[in-house]
């Protein structure tokens, strides 16, 4: 039996959704405690009932005005209701992502036996103090993460670099076992893109794209300036899609003049994003930031681009460089200044046909539904080992 603690918002991480699809299909006897605000828990509960009928799930509502004592009381009441049934059976316990914030509350409650003696922590991110959080947030929420890491016999991470980081900072014991599961796209995304054809090479309006969260670290000023220069020389445009804050929009509007080769679409639906990226010459993903979580990034976005057969222009993070350069899937750019970005864009445009062939071959071997499903099943075996 498996007991899973999940913050409802983390189901948006597609590889987590894939995990629940797999354990549902395998018929693993699973109890899921969904934690979060009213609307997100209700939305995820509906998704669970529709997509994962084999799973036994229970809601733990955390309201914005809840004090720590109220959260503790609600947690205890919920778990006390479930505890006798679960405690009668031998079980494994899995904490996913931000659910670790509340580990200490559960460990100190009368239902601590639910945690069992074989705990796995799926660390979707590095602890908050390494993710650019405020000192207050890092000290309060980080307690739960550190307690979870201390108690875990097994830890799941998206790349080996993060495993090494946790060891080097003595955030886990030397005896802990690691399992690596990359942040693959959802099965739905992979299925939607599995029959992609060679993308348009002679479009009347060729473009490359960057989608996702837009800020200075993800979409540097140097990249925007380089894109304008590329457009003036080649008429190949940059298209941006995703959520942007006011500061970014102010910077973007200052950099681009009217029809200067950068088009911003705002937030668009997944269907629209699929259609957009299907026509793009290549995709861009940058993680220039001053925190370790971004430096050792494991972006889902990169795999989404690859699933659509797109060569990659990425920042020179160790994890991205290894994926892109070692497999000849694109170009990594060490610095975010406009000259470096310009040279990177020129390089990928000049070798795009060969890179696209490499991406197509890599995708065929590594990014099919069967390949990703096998990786997720390996995780299930790891949890129960």
For the segment 45-101, what is each residue's pLDDT rounded down to a tens digit?
Answer: 888 888 888 787 766 665 554 444 555 555 555 555 555 455 555 688 999 998 888
CA distance 263 to 237: 8
What are 258-310's pLDDT values in tens digits? Answer: 667 899 999 999 889 988 998 999 999 999 877 888 889 888 999 999 999 99
State which residues form the domain around 342: 195-366
Three-class SS string for 56-77? EEEEEECCCCCCHHHHHHHHHH
Q: What digits encode the pLDDT tens for the residues 90-133?
A: 688 999 998 888 787 777 665 566 676 789 999 998 887 776 65
Is 217 domain-assigned?
A: yes
Which residues contact residue 118 at a Cβ distance below 8 angstroms, ignoring those fewer than 6 apart?
92, 93, 153
Kindly state whether residue 105 falls inside one of the protein's structural domains.
yes
* Residues 206 and 72 occupy one common structural domain: no
Query: Of 296, 280, 311, whose CA–CA distance to 166 is shortest?
Result: 296
The overall longest dimension of the chain from CA atoms, in Å, is: 70
Per-residue pLDDT tens digits for 186-237: 898 888 876 555 444 444 479 999 999 898 889 999 999 999 999 999 999 9
Position 139 confidence tier, pLDDT thresholds 50, 70, 90: low
**Residues 297 and 379 occupy one common structural domain:** no
User: Residue 322 domain-assigned?
Assistant: yes
CA distances for 223 relative to 31, 238, 295, 340, angstroms: 46, 10, 18, 9
State whether 253 and 120 are in the same domain: no
How far are the Cα atoms of 28, 139, 175, 238 from residue 8, in angstroms, in the given order?
Answer: 20, 23, 30, 34
Residues 137 and 78 in one domain: yes
**pLDDT of res. 51:** 84
What single string gives the DSSP state of each residue in 357-370?
HHHHHHHHHHSSHH
Looking at the fold, whether 110 and 218 belong to one and the same domain comes out as: no
Q: Is 225 helix (H, G, I), strand (E, B) or coil?
A: helix
157 within some domain: yes
Do 265 and 359 lie in one domain? The reply is yes
In a domain, 177, yes or no: yes
Residue 63 lies in a domain: yes
Residues 146 and 257 in one domain: no
pLDDT at 298: 81
Output the pLDDT for position 201.
Answer: 47
Tell whether 14 and 64 lie within a shared domain: yes
107 shares a domain with 229: no
Does 206 lie in the same domain as 169?
no
Tell me what pLDDT residue 198 has. 47
Same domain, 234 and 170: no
In angstroms, how far is the first alpha carbon of the chain from the final one? 13
Q: Which positions ≥6 away from 28 have C-beta within 8 Å? A: 2, 54, 380
pLDDT > 90 in the chain, percent: 46
- Whether 190 maps to a domain, the answer reads no
pTM for this model (two decimals): 0.86
H-run or E-run covering 147: helix 135-151
In a domain, 127, yes or no: yes
Looking up residue 22, the CATH number of its domain turns out to be 3.40.50.2000
Q: Are residues 28 and 158 in the same domain?
A: yes
Domains in the chain: how many in total?
2
Lowest mean pLDDT among 15-29, 40-54, 65-79, 248-262: 65-79
């Amino acid at each position: 039996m498996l007991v899973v603690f999940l913050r409802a918002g983390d189901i948006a991480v597609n590889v987590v959704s894939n995990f629940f699809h797999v354990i549902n299909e395998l018929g693993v006897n699973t109890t899921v405690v969904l934690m979060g605000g009213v609307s997100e828990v209700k939305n995820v509960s509906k998704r669970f009932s529709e997509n994962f009928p084999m799973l036994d799930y229970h809601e733990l509502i955390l309201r914005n005005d809840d004090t720590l004592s109220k959260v503790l009381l609600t947690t205890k009441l919920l778990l006390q209701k479930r505890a006798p049934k679960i405690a009668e059976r031998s079980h494994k316990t899995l904490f996913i992502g931000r659910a670790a914030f509340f580990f200490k509350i559960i460990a100190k409650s009368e239902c601590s036996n639910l945690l069992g003696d074989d705990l796995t922590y799926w660390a979707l991110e590095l602890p908050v103090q390494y993710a650019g959080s405020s000192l207050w947030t890092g000290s309060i929420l980080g307690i739960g993460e550190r307690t979870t890491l201390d108690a875990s016999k097994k830890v799941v991470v998206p790349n080996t670099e993060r495993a090494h980081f946790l060891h080097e900072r003595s955030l886990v014991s030397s005896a802990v076992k690691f399992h690596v599961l990359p942040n693959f796209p959802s099965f739905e995304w992979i299925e939607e893109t599995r029959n992609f054809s060679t993308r348009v090479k002679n479009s009347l309006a060729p473009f490359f794209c960057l989608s996702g969260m837009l800020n200075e670290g993800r979409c540097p000023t140097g990249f925007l300036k380089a894109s304008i220069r590329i457009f003036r020389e080649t008429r190949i445009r940059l298209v941006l899609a995703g959520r942007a804050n006011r500061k970014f929009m102010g910077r973007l509007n200052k950099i681009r003049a009217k029809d200067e080769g950068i088009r911003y679409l705002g937030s668009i639906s997944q269907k629209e994003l699929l259609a957009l990226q299907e026509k793009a010459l290549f995709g861009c993903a940058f993680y220039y930031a001053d925190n370790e979580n971004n430096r050792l990034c494991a972006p889902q976005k990169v795999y989404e681009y690859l699933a659509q057969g797109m060569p990659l222009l990425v920042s020179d993070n160790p994890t991205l460089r290894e994926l892109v350069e070692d497999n000849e899937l694109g170009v990594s750019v060490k610095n975010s200044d406009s000259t470096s970005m310009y040279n990177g864009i020129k390089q990928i445009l000049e070798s795009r046909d060969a890179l696209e062939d490499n991406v197509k071959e890599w995708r065929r071997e590594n990014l099919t539904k069967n390949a990703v499903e096998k990786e997720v099943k390996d995780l299930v075996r790891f949890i129960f080992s």
